[in-house]
Structure 1
């Protein structure tokens, strides 16, 4: 059951977590929600461990994305060499001509 003092706050839990340090906020929340402090400390500890593991996974994923972006930027630099541009332009010109002739033959 939530106490009347907690219900009077317009912002709810945000007011409790806007206070000073983490243990003090946890104790304040525990007294408000009538949990034992030891069980709340256990829950908050496991939450921290899970959060740290999640952060590490996110950092690893971010690093993989950065490596992938580096790979593509290296390929892009290679793609803008003049000989490669000529190859692309040559193939594109033939593709456009093929497409136009296809459109002329098979008008829909």
Structure 2
């Protein structure tokens, strides 16, 4: 599920490690840990959708692109990111994008 994209962040890794310790010490069940992770996914996606208001435009040369399992991957060369008064140039950028509209389904295993 692309919805779990932020679990590999520092915050997501810390949460998973803490949940693993609680499972090993038998303070919580694996099912409860999964529910906590699903709630983390929902909360983080919701917060980013509602609170982030910055806009950046970019342009560059498309090197490669791929579409697999509803996920787009783009690799661009000589990219320029611009914000109102700022311009940043980067040699190579990889962008991974997925359809956030399809993540609203609540599936628990």
Q: TM-score, with normalisation over the residues of structure 1?
A: 0.31
Higher strand share: 2
Q: Return the structure number with greater relative CO, CA threshold 8 A, min gap 6.
A: 2
Larger radius of gyration: 1
Task: Name the structure with the higher helix share.
Answer: 1
Task: With the length of structure 2 as denominator, give the TM-score of the two structures.
Answer: 0.31
